[in-house]
Amino acid sequence: MTVRIGVIGTGAIGRDHARRIEKVLQGGRIVALSDVNAASAEAVRADIAPDARVFASGEELIAAPEVDAVLVTSWGATHEQYVLAALKAGKPCFCEKPLATTAEGAKRIVDAEVALGSRLVQVGFMRRYDAGYVALKKVVDSEIGAPLMVHAAHRNPTVPEQYVTPMAIHDTLIHEIDVLRWLLNDEYVSAQVVFPRVSSHSHSQLRDPQIILLETKKGVRIDVEVFVNCRYGYDIQCQVVGEEGLANLPEPMSIVMRKDARQQNAILTDWKDRFIASYDVELQDFLKAAANGTASGPSSWDGYVAAISSDACVKAQETGEIVPISLPERPALYN
């Protein structure tokens, strides 16, 4: 079966996901597009999916009978309304992170899906599909003994002017929030944020870099450096220290060159390239489940837990205190 997909939000990642569904993956076709900036949807239609219909609103796209499943790739604050509409229409929905910008919003989605009684939502936490993280998890699960500490870094070369301090959590750290609880098979119990000297490349509304300290139920201590004006590249680091050994996330493949009395290798600069293979695998997974009218992979529950944890981190940014994190009971649908 070919799943007929509608894409809401045709900016950077919406366009890229449309491209992979049309040109790289099996079992999906882009039949509908919508963006508040109609010119952006028209451009994606012209460049990638010439037979797709452009809809004036996301709601109309979701309701269209020719749309079997929906991709929500608009700005974060608009995700909740579209995911709820897709659930109401009973259509599988892939939602980019964040699932919602508040824990209350994510809970409304969990409640709607639980009331339906079957999974329809996959959240775009693509790192769970990354070959490096999958290999790291295998070693953490079986080789290095009980994890004790994690040292991680999430560095972007630059960010746009509208990127402000809390976005370091909602927009950036949220990937670590999800992938580290998956990696450790654990949950967070507290968060604290400390701020080093501010980089002169930052601006007045952004305190960059930041160090986020998380503690888990099992007692693992995690430090994550978020540094979004690091200049030199797009760099994702993760080291797990266990009681029997230590494991590092592999670096992306890169040729080591010796030239002009120097040894050097290139560092990626764009998230699109760093996680290109994992985006392919996550969306192939979505298409496979959507063909059966369901969803798999990171769930609304994972999106909700990430939202609760990131709200605590934002509070920790504001107060400078250690903020407790407590989770409600997980509904059986997500066991």
Ligand X SMILES: O[C@H]1[C@H](O)[C@@H](O)[C@H](O)[C@@H](O)[C@H]1O
Ligand Y SMILES: NC(=O)c1ccc[n+]([C@@H]2O[C@H](COP(=O)([O-])OP(=O)(O)OC[C@H]3O[C@@H](n4cnc5c(N)ncnc54)[C@H](O)[C@@H]3O)[C@@H](O)[C@H]2O)c1
Binding site for ligand X (CB under 6 A): 156, 171-172, 175, 228, 271
Q: Which among ligand X, ligand Y, none contacts residue 235 (Cβ within 5 to 8 A by kind)? A: none
The CB-of-97 to ligand Y minimum distance in angstroms stands at 5
The CB-of-190 to ligand Y minimum distance in angstroms stands at 25
The CB-of-172 to ligand Y minimum distance in angstroms stands at 9
Q: Which among ligand X, ligand Y, none contacts residue 294 (Cβ within 5 to 8 A by kind)? A: none
Q: Residue 63: how many CB atoms within 10 A of its CB? A: 16
Q: What residue has token string 């996959």?
A: 122
Q: Which among ligand X, ligand Y, none contacts residue 195 (Cβ within 5 to 8 A by kind)? A: none
Under the criterion CB under 6 A, does residue 13 sit at the interface with ligand Y? yes
Q: Which among ligand Y, ligand X, none contacts residue 209 (Cβ within 5 to 8 A by kind)? A: none
Closest of 304, 306, 327, 328 to residue 109, by C-alpha? 304
Rounded distance, CA 84 to CA 118, Å?
Answer: 14
The CB-of-175 to ligand X minimum distance in angstroms stands at 6
Vertex 248: Cα angle to 245 and 253 (nearest 5): 145
The CB-of-300 to ligand Y minimum distance in angstroms stands at 15
Q: Which among ligand Y, ligand X, none contacts residue 78 (Cβ within 5 to 8 A by kind)? A: ligand Y
Residues 154-183 contacting ligand Y, CB under 6 A = 171
Burial (CB count <10 Å: 0-12, 13-18, 19+), residue 69:
buried
**269-274: long-range pairs with CB below 8 Å, 24+:** 269/157, 269/233, 269/234, 270/234, 271/156, 271/234, 272/12, 272/13, 272/16, 273/234, 274/234, 274/236
Under the criterion CB under 6 A, does residue 293 sit at the interface with ligand Y? no
Under the criterion CB under 6 A, does residue 28 sit at the interface with ligand Y? no
Cβ proximity of 154 and 176 under 8 Å:
yes
Q: What residue has token string 């452009």?
A: 54
Interface residues toward ligand Y, by CB under 6 A: 8-14, 34-37, 40, 58, 73-76, 78, 96-97, 124, 126, 171, 271, 275
